[in-house]
């Protein structure tokens, strides 16, 4: 790809949101400040800083925004920065009745006092529940937010379900983007291209890709999506994200033609702060994640299996094959305990 391709797409870095699955959304303040400055310097279009919720929880500050949106975070960005700030909301608790109707105003009120303005909300929803998002999307738009839809596990949808999902999205009106999310890291490039092309032709909003690296295909699938016409591309520093992680921002920018000199501050930040996190948490493609991706097993199973050093390789493999045989595309701690108890 050439540098012309870079100007045509929106690169969204979601390191603090997706990487928070390893740190409970708690990041060192200096890391966050240098990360934001590096994103601005390298030309990242959108930074997704974490999850925003309407109720408190036990996550770290970037899992319950606006807790992480401090004045020092704002100061990391120069006055003339061009970075848009996004948050993600989980549609699950907000799909019904008054909760959905009030969500936009309530979220705007919660974020209004934050020194770093948020203008984009990404709604994470399982593809099979997208029809229930219309009221929520309307409420967020009415509150002044740009809205993206992140269609989780869309790879599991059959042709009829894909067509139905596209029709529901088309009925929602204008969105910033609708995302094909490879939640299980199960996709290959032909499937990615097919979904991107179908969403491009079936509704009027730009299409995005959020790829996971279970099989080592995250960057490849992201570039395949771009070739098929996807205009919003997700990535994270060193691929930091749940399970096997995501497409690497530094590799994606290089593939899109970013010159080495401009990448330098981003690479230095990655080396200075994120390599230590990689050494500690060890995300990335692996045989276990590849098996999970190939058989549609939720990546949190592998993440939990690998978090216990006492599990032998055979114990992990037997548990994973049991999960694959049962069908385990949604994570259940109880199901994991059960398959391990039968080892």
User: Which residues sit opposite 232 in a β-bridge?
Assistant: 10, 208
- Positions of E strands within 236-302: none
Q: Could you tell me if 317 and 182 lie in one domain?
A: no
**Rounded CA separation 15/278 (Å):** 12
Q: Could you tell me if 223 and 335 lie in one domain?
A: no
State the pLDDT at residue 3.
39
| Segment 119-158, tens digit of pLDDT | 999 999 999 999 999 999 999 999 999 999 999 999 999 9
Residue after which a domain boundary falls, among 262, 279, 296: 279
Q: What is the rounded average pLDDT of the residues 327-339? A: 94
Domain that holds residue 291: 287-341
Residue after which a domain boundary falls, among 279, 307, 331: 279
Q: Could you tell me if 215 and 235 lie in one domain?
A: yes
Mean pLDDT for all residues in the chain: 94
Q: Could you tell me if 202 and 71 lie in one domain?
A: yes
| Segment 16-50, tens digit of pLDDT | 999 999 999 999 999 999 999 999 999 999 999 99
Residue after which a domain boundary falls, among 244, 279, 314: 279
Q: Could you tell me if 214 and 331 lie in one domain?
A: no
Q: Which residues contact 211 (CB under 8 A, 6 or more apart)?
A: 182, 185, 187, 192, 217, 218, 219, 221, 222, 225, 234, 246, 247
Q: Could you tell me if 266 and 336 lie in one domain?
A: no
User: Which residues sit opposite 224 in a β-bridge?
Assistant: none
The pTM assigned to this predicted structure is: 0.94
| Segment 267-309, tens digit of pLDDT | 999 999 999 999 999 999 999 999 999 999 999 999 999 989 8
The number of domains in the chain is 2
Q: Which two tokens stand for residue 195?
A: 């979904």
| Segment 187-229, tens digit of pLDDT | 999 999 999 999 999 999 999 999 999 999 999 999 999 999 9
Q: Could you tell me if 318 and 275 lie in one domain?
A: no
Q: Could you tell me if 48 and 112 lie in one domain?
A: yes
Q: Could you tell me if 267 and 291 lie in one domain?
A: no
Chain Cα centroid distance, residue 253:
17
Q: Could you tell me if 173 and 295 lie in one domain?
A: no
């Amino acid at each position: 790809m050439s540098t012309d391709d870079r100007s045509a797409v929106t690169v969204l870095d979601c390191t603090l949101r997706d990487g928070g699955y390893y740190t409970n959304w708690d990041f060192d303040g200096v890391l966050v400040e240098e990360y934001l400055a590096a994103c601005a310097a390298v030309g990242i279009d959108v930074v997704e800083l974490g999850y925003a919720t309407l109720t408190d929880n036990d996550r770290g500050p970037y899992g319950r925004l606006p807790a992480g949106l401090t004045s020092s975070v704002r100061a990391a960005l120069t006055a003339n920065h061009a970075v848009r700030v996004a948050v993600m909301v989980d549609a699950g608790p907000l799909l019904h009745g008054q909760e959905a109707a009030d969500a936009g105003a309530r979220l705007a009120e919660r974020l209004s006092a934050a020194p770093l303005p948020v203008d984009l909300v990404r709604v994470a929803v399982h593809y099979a529940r997208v029809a229930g998002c219309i009221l929520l999307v309307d409420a967020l738009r009415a509150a002044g937010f740009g809205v993206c839809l992140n269609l989780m596990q869309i790879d599991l949808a059959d042709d009829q379900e894909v067509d139905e999902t596209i029709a529901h999205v088309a009925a929602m009106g204008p969105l910033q983007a609708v995302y094909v999310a490879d939640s299980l890291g199960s996709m290959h490039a032909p499937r990615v291209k097919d979904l991107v092309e179908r969403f491009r032709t079936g509704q009027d909003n730009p299409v995005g890709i959020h790829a996971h690296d279970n099989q080592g295909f995250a960057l490849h699938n992201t570039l395949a999506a771009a070739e098929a016409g996807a205009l919003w591309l997700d990535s994270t520093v060193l691929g930091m994200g749940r399970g096997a992680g995501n497409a690497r921002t530094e590799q994606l920018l290089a593939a899109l033609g970013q010159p080495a000199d401009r990448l330098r501050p981003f690479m230095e930040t990655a080396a200075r702060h994120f390599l230590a996190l990689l050494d500690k948490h060890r995300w990335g493609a692996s045989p276990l994640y590849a098996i999970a991706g190939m058989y549609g097993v939720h990546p949190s199973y592998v993440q939990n299996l690998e978090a216990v050093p006492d599990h032998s390789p055979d114990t992990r493999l037997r548990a994973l094959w049991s999960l694959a045989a049962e069908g385990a595309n949604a994570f259940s701690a109880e199901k994991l305990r059960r398959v391990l108890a039968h080892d």
